[in-house]
Amino acid sequence: MSVNRHAHTGKAQSNPTPEENKGSLGVEARISRLESIVGQIGEAVLTTTQTIDRLAERIDALAIQVQHQGHQVQQQGYQLFALSDAVQTLAETQNDSLEQLGQLTETLQRLAAAIETVDKTEKGEK
């Protein structure tokens, strides 16, 4: 270590030697580089966090959409069940109506036959 030019005032200060200067510059450069790397890592973490937040929002929106669609599918299932039940009731009612129509047709045929018989009888009496 060499004594600086202020040594005559009684305040001795040491100036770094060129080797010490070289060493401290190397350390400073490494620290600067590490600070830069830490800064880049921080930026990357921040960007990643923002991306994850956006993805989480999208996933939440999709989950809500799927939940709504599930509710709609459930409602459509209920509607299909009700429609199926209505169609079954309609088919049963149609069968009953066909049966009654068949009975009515038989009754009308017997009535027509009876009227025809009466007509023939009345014509025969005249």
Per-residue confidence at 122, pLDDT binned at 50, 70, 90? confident
Distance, in Å, from the CA atom of 52 to the CA atom of 5, rounded to the nearest integer, reads: 60
Distance, in Å, from the CA atom of 59 to the CA atom of 65, rounded to the nearest integer, reads: 10
pLDDT recorded at residue 22: 65
SS3 track for 51-106: HHHHHHHHHHHHHHHHHHHHHHHHHHHHHHHHHHHHHHHHHHHHHHHHHHHHHHHH
pLDDT recorded at residue 6: 45
Instruction: Determine what percent of the chain falls in helix, strand and coil, rounding each to the nearest 5.
Output: 90, 5, 5
Report residue 66 CA to chain centroid gap.
3
pLDDT tens digits, one per residue of 88-121 = 999 999 999 999 999 999 999 999 999 999 888 8
Question: Which residues lie across from 15 on neighbouring strands?
Answer: 2
pLDDT tens digits, one per residue of 30-78 = 999 999 999 999 999 999 999 999 999 999 999 999 999 999 999 999 9
On average, the pLDDT of the chain sits at 87
Phi, psi for residue 4 in degrees, rounded to 5: -80, 180
Per-residue confidence at 1, pLDDT binned at 50, 70, 90? very low
DSSP state of 13: -
